[in-house]
A and B are shown apart, each in its own frame.
Chain A
């Protein structure tokens, strides 16, 4: 798994899924469309990504198209680095 993905995965597990088996969270697990991350959680994730990677995320990017899976998140972060 890519470094960005691994970092984000660690954050998601710690912040939103404590006690969950890390192997269950894969790079294609649907986070927003699977109702794991609601709107508040998504905004927390956005804040984390901006702080951790020094990027700026736009309002329209806080959605399923850009943040639904770890793979999507990695693509978004890379596009802004």
Chain B
């Protein structure tokens, strides 16, 4: 019996009431469950991804319920008959293709460990899920959903405690923008609020109730966008809407990226779903892919091309230094492509942030291509208002002054940005000079263009061979000039930069000369294909008139092929170990975001001294350093540390007890971080003196948790053998010490303790450390007590007052020889004490030593006469992330110290005879639980 029309209509009516009701119940239940699970943690730690997704799905269901109860809501849902329509099926196919590409890209991002764990473990999966949910919603509800997704991102990364503070502070700032008071009053209030937050940022006597980790993100979300937002509020054609405003400030990817494109509010508003959604999404996927490629290229440059100023020995090195330094900007362009690509997935059809900036043909062209959002921000808020005010005095005057104002604002706001990210203003002469010189070049270029115009076209330009050659030469010239300026910008001081040029003109290799000649030829080829490549890949959204538009399918296939290729590369990296150490090292540099040797050295130095070199462009290093809590002190900033100013440099004060990294740090009466010992070795005691730097000292772990304390305790466990000696391990480790300082300490103090063994702990950086220290004392005019080291200094021509980088550059070629001398002296001094010299290698995570480097070091140690204990495998089978103190400090934690102690004890049993040790069969090391 068929239902009559009235029955069918009645059923439909009930369905139309029941479904939204069910959606609301389910959505609310999911949201409440997620909220309860999030708040259940007493420490208010970030909830799991599943909880975040649960909440987001709940929110989406609530929005769906609203959309169904709105007028015409049910008509949006395709019925069974409509699903058979070709356009609907095409819609589903396109959506599926994009979702599939995104899923693969998420896997690629995870396999390459792109950027940070919060990004690839939380934000990327959240984005993927949110993309699907967002597209399923009617257009009118998507902005609200995006706000929900962004808030979920904040809570997933920072947890409900700090996350709520971040959101609350943001809402207050946004609220000030909309107060019903005059515009100037609102600006004044915002400035006051900013000043208050800045005071808190520098820890001005008041401990903020939120994690310091939110500062860079809070700054990134509001420091520039507030300026743009207020400007647009004043001049906008239409009033602001809450969902759009909240979306603009709490952009989902921003929660993990403190360096963020300066999105323009008017552009953000104007470009929202302003073209076919699938083309917008597809362009987003392409740009995310491009971002991954840039970031991988950045890693290759960072690990394999970048050299330190101290390593620049001739013109070829200088060229390499200049080019590699500029290529590091791939980090920024990669990040920005990734970010804006992700925003495309939610309909924000934003323009590109960078446009082939390495191929700029003039300085004005460079300004237009690099960080385009910043350029637009400057033009809108500073250049045009200044120009319009000044044009009465003539165009030339207006152009010159407006340009200078823009570059002053750029310089100031960059420092302002770094204040929020690092908590300190980074102002330096190289920074000032860079922007000043670039401003002058741009002024000259602008005036030239104003007078002579420049070639424009609506479609693809046709180049003659002569024009291509001229263009290639202009690109080469611009590229070279920018490389030189960039090197100035990243130099610690102007003097350091000038020292670099001292090598210009030195004899160079044929390869270097050939390389210089091939660059313009390469650029000529790139210019020839540039336009074709760009138009072929971009797709239809936003194409200039006259461009040939590839089909959607072709674009998906090309992008998908690129993603699959990256996936294959990622998979092949997993088996790279089978292809030798070089392949393994290359794979590791692509797979992880670890520091290169230059930055690892800087970081190590930065632990012990006031950090220098953490410049705005030292991408990997500042990412580690900015996570450092504001209150974190180096050991030399506590009462334990004492700076001597002589060859030894520093020492620990005796009889001190402080809290360091939240752990007790106590020194005995001899200035060792250890328990007390008699000076003379008691009868029946076997003594080992441990020399080393921060690791044996026990940086970041508590008293008694250091590996030497653990080994000592284990060796003294009751064995039932009354004839067995007692063991004393004396910890002479001092943070920041280098081999020459071990030698000085050995000769100065250790003799009186009558050690049986002198154990030198090394981590692979001994050659560079030896050079670093010798360069430092030589340039500071500190007396060097060893004639052979003085000879090195003399032969290298080190003068007092010389820049440290220059001194290191001169001594660098002699690193191994210097170290060999120092090792030899340590061995002789040890033997003169009647002790046995032993050399122990313990790896570190932030600066892995290559097999070749380790082999060289071991040979140096053996040649000097050390007994060698290689603990390379001490951390095998353990996740490095669980063995370091924190995300920003890679010193070994208590768990790692226990592993070292255990491994060292095993090594001592193996080498017992050569070390004069009579050890029990299996001294057990009781591992201390990791903090």
Interface residues of A (CB under 8 A from B): 16-17, 20, 24-26, 29-30, 33-36, 38-41, 43, 58-60, 62-65
Contacts and interface: CB of A to CB of B under 8 A. Distances in A.
Contacts, number: 60
A38 B362 CA distance: 14
Interface stretch (B380-388, B482-490, B910-918): B380-388
Contacts of A34: 544
B457 interface: yes
Contacts of A41: 456
B457 A17 contact: yes
B270 A60 contact: no
Which of A30, A41, A59, A64 is packed against the most chain B CB atoms within 10 Å? A59
B449 interface: yes
Nearest to B446: A40
B351 A33 contact: yes
Interface string B261-278: 000001100100000000
22 contacts: A16-B453, A16-B456, A24-B458, A24-B459, A29-B458, A30-B542, A30-B544, A33-B542, A35-B368, A38-B368, A40-B399, A40-B449, A40-B450, A43-B384, A59-B385, A59-B387, A60-B235, A60-B380, A60-B384, A64-B266, A64-B270, A65-B266
A-B complex: 8 closest residue pairs judged by Cβ atoms? A60-B235, A59-B384, A59-B385, A59-B388, A24-B458, A34-B544, A62-B384, A16-B456
A9 to B, nearest CB: 12
B379 interface: yes
Which of B266, B380, B545 is packed against the most chain A CB atoms within 10 Å? B545
B546 interface: yes
A34 B387 CA distance: 23
Given A62-B388, A63-B384, 14 more contacts: A16-B453, A17-B457, A17-B458, A24-B545, A29-B545, A30-B544, A35-B544, A38-B364, A43-B384, A58-B235, A59-B387, A60-B380, A60-B384, A63-B380
A26 to B, nearest CB: 7
B231 interface: yes
Contacts of A33: 351, 542
Contacts of A30: 542, 544
B237 interface: yes
A50 to B, nearest CB: 10
A26 B364 CA distance: 27
B849 to A, nearest CB: 49
Contacts of B450: 40
Interface in B507-557: 542, 544-546
B736 to A, nearest CB: 51
Contacts of A20: 457-458
A49 to B, nearest CB: 13
A64 B267 contact: yes
Contacts of B542: 30, 33
A36 B544 CA distance: 9
A1 B287 CA distance: 37
A30 B267 CA distance: 14
A35 B544 CA distance: 9
Contacts of B379: 39
A21 B741 CA distance: 76
A16 B453 CA distance: 8
Interface string B440-469: 000000100110010011110000000000
Contacts of A62: 384, 388
Contacts of B364: 38
A24 B460 CA distance: 12
A48 to B, nearest CB: 13
Contacts of A16: 453, 456
A78 to B, nearest CB: 15
A20 B266 CA distance: 31
Given A16-B456, A33-B351, A59-B384, A24 B546 contact: yes
Contacts of B388: 58-59, 62
B451 to A, nearest CB: 10
A65 B270 contact: yes
Nearest to B267: A64
A58 B443 CA distance: 23
A60 B231 CA distance: 9
B481 to A, nearest CB: 20
A43 B387 contact: yes
Contacts of A38: 364, 368
B545 A26 contact: yes
Nearest to B351: A33
Contacts of B456: 16-17, 36, 41
A65 B388 CA distance: 18
Contacts of B380: 60, 63
Contacts of A40: 399, 446, 449-450
Contacts of B351: 33
Contacts of A65: 237, 266, 270
Contact of B383 (A24, A29, A39): A39
Contacts of B459: 24
B237 A36 contact: no
Nearest to A56: B388
B389 to A, nearest CB: 8
Contacts of A25: 458
A50 B708 CA distance: 81
B847 to A, nearest CB: 44
Contacts of B383: 39
Interface string B377-415: 001100111011000000000010000000000000000
Contacts of A17: 456-458
Contact of B458 (A36, A43, A64): A36
Contacts of A26: 545
B376 to A, nearest CB: 9
Contacts of A36: 456, 458, 544
A30 B385 CA distance: 23
Interface string B76-97: 0000000000000000000000
A3 to B, nearest CB: 22
Interface string B867-909: 0000000000000000000000000000000000000000000
Interface in B414-456: 446, 449-450, 453, 456
A41 B235 CA distance: 22
Which of B237, B385, B458 is packed against the most chain A CB atoms within 10 Å? B458
A15 to B, nearest CB: 8
Contacts of A60: 231, 234-235, 380, 384
Interface in B211-244: 231, 234-235, 237
A63 to B, nearest CB: 6
Contacts of B449: 40
Contacts of B237: 65
A13 to B, nearest CB: 10
A62 B380 CA distance: 8
A41 B546 CA distance: 22
Nearest to A57: B388
A24 B101 CA distance: 36
A17 B459 CA distance: 11
Nearest to A61: B235
A41 to B, nearest CB: 8
Interface in B337-361: 351
Nearest to B385: A59
A81 B649 CA distance: 77
B458 A63 contact: no
Nearest to B235: A60
B357 to A, nearest CB: 14
A24 B457 CA distance: 10
Nearest to B546: A24
A16 B385 CA distance: 24
A33 B372 CA distance: 11
A54 to B, nearest CB: 17
